[in-house]
Amino acid sequence: MKEGYTSLSIAIKDLQEEGYNVDFNLVEEGVEAKSKKKTWPAGKLDVVKFYRFEGATNPSDNSILYVIETEDGEKGLLVDNYDASATQVSKEMLEKLKIHHNE
């Protein structure tokens, strides 16, 4: 896992090659993987790293890539905007993501 990437697409490709293949989506209680038809609450996952990317022409294009590992061994990625607090998520999940937003 690199310290930084020049673009979101390069980061996703590189991390997928390292085995982070699950496409996570943010849900109220934590994250879900629709392809696996499974949801993990915040207490059953770790955000192991994150990368921020800024839009070249539009500040609203800012995004953050979370590298996530679940307690049961799944490894994947979650792409979100900088403001996770705007999304309906549990307090526990918000706290997990908030650490990274404030660094």
DSSP state of 36: T
The torsion angles phi and psi of 26, rounded to 5 degrees, stand at -75, 130
Residue-level pLDDT at 102: 47
In tens, the pLDDT along 49-95 reads 989 887 666 655 688 899 999 999 999 999 987 654 455 666 777 77
The pTM assigned to this predicted structure is 0.80
Report pLDDT digits (tens) over 16-61: 999 999 999 988 889 999 999 999 999 999 999 989 887 666 655 6
Model confidence at 5, in pLDDT bands (50, 70, 90)? Answer: very high
Instruction: Please report the DSSP string for 40-95 in residue order.
Output: EEGGGEEEEEEEEE--SS-GGG-EEEEEEEETTS-EEEEEEES-GGGS---HHHHH
What are the structure tokens assigned to 86, written together? 């705007």
Q: What is the pLDDT of residue 86?
A: 52
d(CA 12, CA 18): 10
Q: Which two tokens stand for residue 30?
A: 């934590």
What pLDDT sits at residue 12?
96
